[in-house]
Every structure is written in structure tokens, then in C-alpha cells.
A and B are shown apart, each in its own frame.
Chain A
């Protein structure tokens, strides 16, 4: 546990250092890699700041649609970890796969029709996370953005309400932007 936290911390630290000091041009590939890791870690952490309306199964399941690298990263992070005493399982999905049994779904940037996935996520009470600029407009609850070379996220409270999930105010306090009702 402690060892894993160190690993995670080291990853985050190296990511931050890379983000802070590396030139954008020289190390684009490495930066791409780092970004995927950070996003995977964030996905894992989101689970700790979310309350689900439906009763939770003994194991939390995170679905990753159209982003195999993230799924792989997350699977690595999830090994031996748990949230609120529940172990985490990672499922790599393709477009059109059922979202049943999931608590969180990540929709990668490569997905052709994310709105569909997001809609079904809303219906299924699954917390949805996207990484496209129009993610929130498409119906996502949390959307990753790159702000000043940092991975940040924005939150849509109406989507969260529709998805029947409650986001912790502590999560909101570190969100880059929070969309409230009426949008």
C-alpha cells in the first residue's frame, strides 16, 4: 500500500516536473505518456469523491472506452488498491458495449460518438468522464482539460444530477471550472 502510494506519488511528481520544466517541442511523446498516467490516476481518485445513488456492489468497476493506454495505466494503479474498502476492477470497452455494472466510465478522445455513450451512462447512473473540449456539452459529468500544460478538470453539476451521482464539494474546490444548473 505504502509502496504503491510512493509509486503513484513518484509518477505524479515526475509528471509535474516534466510538465514544469520540459520543452513542449522536444519531448512531445513523453509528455503524451505522462498525461495518460495523470488522467488514469485522477480517474482512480475521483471514485473517492463521489457518492452513488444506487447501492454499490462489493467491487467497483471502471470502464474505459476507446483508450487502451488509460485502461492499462489504471489497471496498474488499481492493483492492490481500494476505495472505501472496495477493490477496483478495470474494464476496457469498445463503443457500443453495455455500461451495466459500471460505476465510472471514461470516454476517450478517439470515440466517434461519445454522446451516445454518455447518454447511456446518464441513464445507467454511471459517472462519466471525458477528455474533449465539448465533453460537458455532450453530457459528461467530468471533463479533462489541459490548462497551461497541466491536467485539470471541469465538472457539470446538472449532468451529475442526471447521472444520479453526487460529487464531493472538496472535489469541486479543486475543479478548474464547475458548471452549475441552467446551462
Chain B
């Protein structure tokens, strides 16, 4: 208990003060006691000697003139000092006069006087003092006094002990008051430290108005708490950030896995879709080989093959568009166009398929012309995609409608069918890349799952929105496109194709290692009256260009010996060929490929497969998709 109590700073401080006080007091007391004993004895000796001297002086005549009565009277005066128990005067003859304090007990007097001076025996002090008269010693005074040195020491020690105890009490009180100025801040510090450990709350602070080292300690402790708090907080923040990052990463990983899976599915679908047209084409070729004489059969086969080829081209175009979407390279033109033209273009593409499926196709457009700012081809692509979906996902003989109406500065175009519909949870998802409502491989419908995604991207590029509505599976669906409308058409553009001028004859260089392709195109151009030179590798093409000096040169990029880019640069280096219009024909359709071609010196860029109409359009003066420099 005592150990525990003295273990505290408070206990130690008080104990320290008490011990210090005790040591000081004991030292003082002992010194005082020793001094007092000495002083007491000296005083007593002096006192008794003085008394004896007085008696001696007074009694000198009495002794001289032999008057013991007078001497007794003188001795009797000692009565005023009760400590003197007995006294006497001796002459040479012996006891001359005597005095006893108590008349009852007769004190015993020594027969002869002792030596001059004092002596202490037991509880009494005895003094002998000479009586001098006229320079002669005539007698001796004897005084016997009680000498209570021990009593004196005891009482004095008791007083000192009392003072000591009282002083210690006062010291304890004072120390316990004074130690508060030290222990209170310390207690505050330890209290806060304990609380911080228990509650992990680093915002706690020690409140103290101490001064000196204690204040420094408190301030340092507070600063330390602040620092620890800051670090703990920073650590927590870092943890939280890490956690968040982890979540983001996990999300990204999941998204990547999902995208990977979709890509796998897409690849499977793509293979399937690309394989599908090949069978009819092969069949067509067989028909043409077997029945080459039967013009009708050949024509039928050719039609089938053409349709299947278109389907494949469309697939590949979609793929390229997908590539543009994923790389963010999809761009649109901003022309003044009319909704009706766009709708007509789209219907033209879809009508044959719809009729083949036996669907009824209803179109309802506003009377007044609706003007839009955008890319006619792309918007037609959007609508044809939507219609195509409607045709595909509706059972034979369904009802498909396309409607458009003005709604607060926007045109609301809706494509509706009564087909298989869309589950509610898929309404948003179907616009994602590679998502199809029906993912079974045995599905009757075909597609890559890019149509709607492409449509949404294109609509967004036009500043519009696209949403799907369906009441559920088997209930049909409605896709609604909202597009901003241009109120005042600045100027009606001329027809895209323009007025076909009188056909001119040109000198045309064709360079491609695909002999069949280039020969067939060359034959077609020759049949139109143009002069055509054909090369199958780069060097041949360059030589041909130097001698032939063509007006147009359609050059494959992947030429043997000298690639298209180097060929273009070489041609551009010839001043004689300055006016030759160079068009790249390549399987690489991305923006960076176009840019590379333009940098090499090409003005135009066509992506394979190239239709004859694209070439004839360029010859007619169309510069769609050409470099801005031209």
C-alpha cells in the first residue's frame, strides 16, 4: 500500500519534502539541544556563582566581625531562589552560618569546604566561592542547588518534538499544495495518454496552464499527439485510397473479363456470320460452272452471290465501324440534310429484306420537311440498322412501322415492331457492344451484335439520344431516337451526286497484286472508254507512271517490290506527274492508315473491297473522304 502510494509522483514529492524537512528539523533540534544544554549549564553556573559572590561580598563583614546572625540573614536572602536547597558559610574554623530551604529537613553540610568552583553531583550543583575581605580570604560560601539538567533536556526535547511534528504536518500540507503545480499537469498528461490508448482518439489534448519544463513537456506531448494523429489519419487515408483503388481494379478486372468473354462470343458469332454467306456463294459458283450455258440459272446464281457478297461487305463494314468506335476514331460529316432523304435511303436498304420476310412496313413522316445537321449516310445507317433489327427479330409476317414527329425542337423517330421483344433488364444493355438479346448459337437470327451499339454512337455524335422500350418478351419493341432539328436550313445543298456532266475519258493507272481484281476493274474502265494501264508490282507501276503520265492512279498499298507509300512518294517526286490524282486502295481503313497515306502523297483513300461505283464516282469528280489538302 505504502509502496504503491510512494510510487506516484505525488507521493514521492510529498515524501521528499517531508524527509528534507525532517532532516533539517532534526539537525536543528540536535544542535539546539546541545547548545541549550551547554548554555543551561553555563547559565546555571554563572547564576550560582553570582549568587555566591553576592553572598560572599555581603557576608564579608559578618565573617570579619564574627557575626553569624548577620551571615545567616544574608544567606536567608537566597530564599528567593527556590532551586537553592541549602547554603552555608565556612570560616577556617568550620561551619560559620547555614541555610536550608526547607525548615523541616536539615540538610547535610560538608564538614570542610571543598575546592573553589562548581561541581555537579546527581541532581545538584555545588558551588564553592571564597569570601574576600580587604584582600584576604576570610571564608567560603557553599551553595547547593538542584540542577535538573535531565528534566530540562527532556522538556526541551519534548518541545522540539512537538515543534517537529507540527512542522512536519505543516510541511506535508504545504508540499501537498505545492506538488499540485507539478503533479496536476503530469496527471493530465497521463490521463490523456491513457484515454488516447483506450479510445484511439488523437484529437485529445492536454489542457494545462503550467509553466517551465512542465509546460514544455505538455506542449511536446500535445505536439506529439498531433503528429501521431496526423500520421494515423494519413495512414487511414492511404488505406482507404488503396481499398478504393483495389475495388476499382477489381471492377476493371471484372469488366475486362466480361469484355474478354464478349469478345470471345463475338469472335464465335463473327466466324459464324462470315461463314454463312460463303455456302450460297460456293453453291452459286457450282451452278455457274455446271450450268454455264443456262443464262437464267447463271443470272440467278449471280444474284444470290451478289446478295451474299453485300451481306459480307456489310459485316466487314460493321467490323470496321466497331474498330472505329473502340478506338474513338468514328467521325461524322456535318451537312444540311433532310430527314425524308435519310429515311428513303434507309428504306431502300431494308425494303427487300422486309418484303422477303413478309412484313408490312408502315412509314409515317411529318408533312413539313425536317432539316437536320449531320451525316446522311450515317443517319441512314442508324435507321437501317434499327429497321434491320426489327425485321430480323420479328416472326414472318410481322408489322413494322417507322414514325417521325416533332417534339419540342427535336424530332422523335421511332421504329416499332411486334417481334420477340426485349427483356426489361436488357433494355439498356442491348446498346453495349457485342450484346445480343438472344445469345444462343441456334438462334434463327443473325448479326454481330454491333448494330445498336453503332447506332447509339452515331446518334450521340449527332447530339441525340436513343432508347429502347419493350413491355417484355414476345411483346414487341420500340426504339426511339431523338435528334436535334435545325430550324432554318441555311441553304439547300445540291444533290450529293451532283449533275452528271458529260463523261470524260481519262488516263488511268491501276496497280494491285490482286490480278483478278485489277484486271476486272481495268476491263470495266476500258469499256467506259478510259485508257487504262495495269501494273502488278511497285517498280512496274512507277515505270508505267513515268511513261504513261496518268490522270488518275489507283495504287494498292501492299504492293510487292515497292510499297504503295514509297510509290506515291516517288510519283510525287516527279514534276511531270504533278497533276496525277493518287488514290490509295487498301484493306487498312483506320484513321491512322488514312493519315499515313495522305502524308505519303495520296489525295484519296479507298478501303477494300472497292466497288466499281466508288471509282467511277471519283472519276466523276467526287472527293468524299479525300485529304483536306486537295
Which A residues are closer than 8 A to B by beta carbons? 1, 5-6, 8-10, 12-13, 16-17, 38, 42, 45, 48-49, 83, 150-153, 168, 170-171, 173-174
Contacts and interface: CB of A to CB of B under 8 A. Distances in A.
A127 to B, nearest CB: 16
Contacts of A13: 91-93
Interface residues of B, number: 18
A37 to B, nearest CB: 12
A56 B245 CA distance: 135
A45 B137 contact: no
A9 B138 contact: yes
Given A6-B92, A13-B91, A174-B67, A1 B136 contact: yes
A150 B60 contact: no
A150 B134 CA distance: 23
A16 B93 contact: yes
Contacts of B67: 152, 174
Given A1-B136, A152-B67, 16 more contacts: A5-B136, A5-B138, A9-B93, A10-B92, A12-B66, A16-B66, A16-B93, A17-B93, A45-B64, A45-B65, A45-B133, A48-B133, A49-B61, A151-B66, A170-B61, A171-B61
The 4 closest A-B pairs by CB, nearest first: A13-B93, A9-B92, A48-B134, A174-B67
Main SS class of interface, A: helix
A170 to B, nearest CB: 5
Contacts of A173: 61-62, 70
A45 B66 CA distance: 12
A6 B93 CA distance: 10
Contacts of A168: 61
Interface string B359-389: 0000000000000000000000000000000
Contacts of B92: 6, 9-10, 13
A66 B67 CA distance: 28
Interface string B87-128: 000011100000000000000000000000000000000000
B91 A9 contact: yes
A103 to B, nearest CB: 15
Contacts of B91: 9, 12-13
Interface in B157-182: none
A107 to B, nearest CB: 20
B90 to A, nearest CB: 11
Nearest to A5: B136
A26 B66 CA distance: 24
Contacts of A49: 61
A151 B93 CA distance: 17
A42 B70 CA distance: 16
Contacts of B58: 170
Nearest to B65: A174
